[in-house]
Amino acid sequence: MDFKQLKALVTVAEVGSVTRAAELLHLVQPAVTRQIRTLEQELGVPLFERTRHGMRPTEAGATLVDRARRALTELDRARAELAPRPGVVTGIVTVGLLESAAERLAAPLTTEVLREHPGIELRLLTAYSGHLQRWIDDGDVDLSLLYNLTSTPSLYVRPLVRERLWAVAPPSAGLDPAQPVPFADVAAHPLVMPSKGHALRTLIDGAAREAGADAEVTVQTNAMTLQKRLVLAGHGWTILPGIGIATDVSDGVLSAAPVCEPEIWRTVVLGTPRTGRVTPAVDAVAQALVRQIHRTVREGEWPSARLWEDRTGEE
């Protein structure tokens, strides 16, 4: 098993075609086929099955692809970190961003990192907190924003921001950001909700119990963008973090207001693995991310948010 075989394996899995993989790898098709077959013979299991939609990894193949992708990423990181120019921070850094915060943070973070450290290759992934935490534990992400999480044996957590959740409705509802909406009033409307098991849904369900409200859930989804689209389509109201709807509200696309009675708060944290060496590149990106979050909150671009260091018992 060598680097070329693993590269061929991952490429075929990603594009679903030996022919296309050969083009991307600048090889002839038989060479790619031979590399895959050599792996299968060495491991004693089939790694792909041919379907009408192309080459699809078998269960064993998917497992090997996952491991191979991580191994190739680590090799890329090592190449980027070895023999750097004096005084220049280099390396590959994979950052996890909460879907709700990505729109506000991704562009300025990228701008700062590429300006201050052009030797860093930045990779941004967005997802919900549970997925991001799993990616950190699996070694696929170097650092990530998470929420409502404390430090674990495998993860160091730095609290950054406390923020309220907002009721979100079509513009015709006329919600006023300066006038919080009681949860019972929100629950009087059909609700578009995050899927069961999602951490945001857990917070909302807890508020419903505290308010003694019996909410009618019309649809559940695991995507914030879909929640907003379904609200605009007239399928109900929803509840989201303020940073996820700040632009929509300022543009008049949606109306929104903080939820009260009870207020719903979440804590956004920066998670990093406890194991392994923190490279200068990862540390530089972490510092840049913290600076961007502080700027976003202090310039009023993160609605109903308080920096952790400035919190004053808002609960």
pLDDT tens, residue by residue, 248-266: 999 999 999 999 999 999 9
- CATH classification at residue 211: 3.40.190.290
Question: Is residue 314's pLDDT more than 70?
Answer: no
Same domain, 248 and 284: no
On whether residue 314 sits in a domain, the answer given is: no
Q: Domains in the chain: how many in total?
A: 3
pTM of the model: 0.73
Same domain, 284 and 137: yes
User: Mean pLDDT for the chain?
Assistant: 89
On whether residue 75 sits in a domain, the answer given is: yes
- Return the pLDDT at 75: 80
Question: Is residue 86's pLDDT more than 70?
Answer: no
pLDDT band at 80 (very low <50, low <70, confident <90, very high): low
- Return the pLDDT at 78: 73
- CATH classification at residue 31: 1.10.10.10
On whether residue 171 sits in a domain, the answer given is: yes
50-79 mean pLDDT: 84
CB atoms within 10 A of CB 284: 19
On whether residue 258 sits in a domain, the answer given is: yes
Same domain, 168 and 247: yes
Residue 94, amino acid: T
pLDDT band at 23 (very low <50, low <70, confident <90, very high): confident
From first CA to last CA, the distance across the chain in angstroms is: 56
Burial state string for 246-263 with b = 16 or more CB within 10 A and e = fewer than 16: bebbeeeebbbbbbbeee
On whether residue 313 sits in a domain, the answer given is: no
pLDDT band at 315 (very low <50, low <70, confident <90, very high): very low
Question: Is residue 130's pLDDT more than 60?
Answer: yes
Which of 82, 113, 132 lies at the terminal end of a domain, its last residue? 82
284-303 mean pLDDT: 94
Same domain, 151 and 272: yes
- Return the pLDDT at 223: 86
CB atoms within 10 A of CB 84: 14
Same domain, 145 and 288: yes
The domain in which residue 202 lies consists of 162-266
Show the 3-state SS of 214-279.
CCCEEEEECCHHHHHHHHHCCCCEEEEEHHHCHHHHHCCCCEEEEEECCCCEEEEEEEEECCCCCC
- Return the pLDDT at 85: 64
Same domain, 148 and 290: yes
Same domain, 222 and 277: no
Task: State which H helix or E strand residue 287 sits in.
Answer: helix 280-298
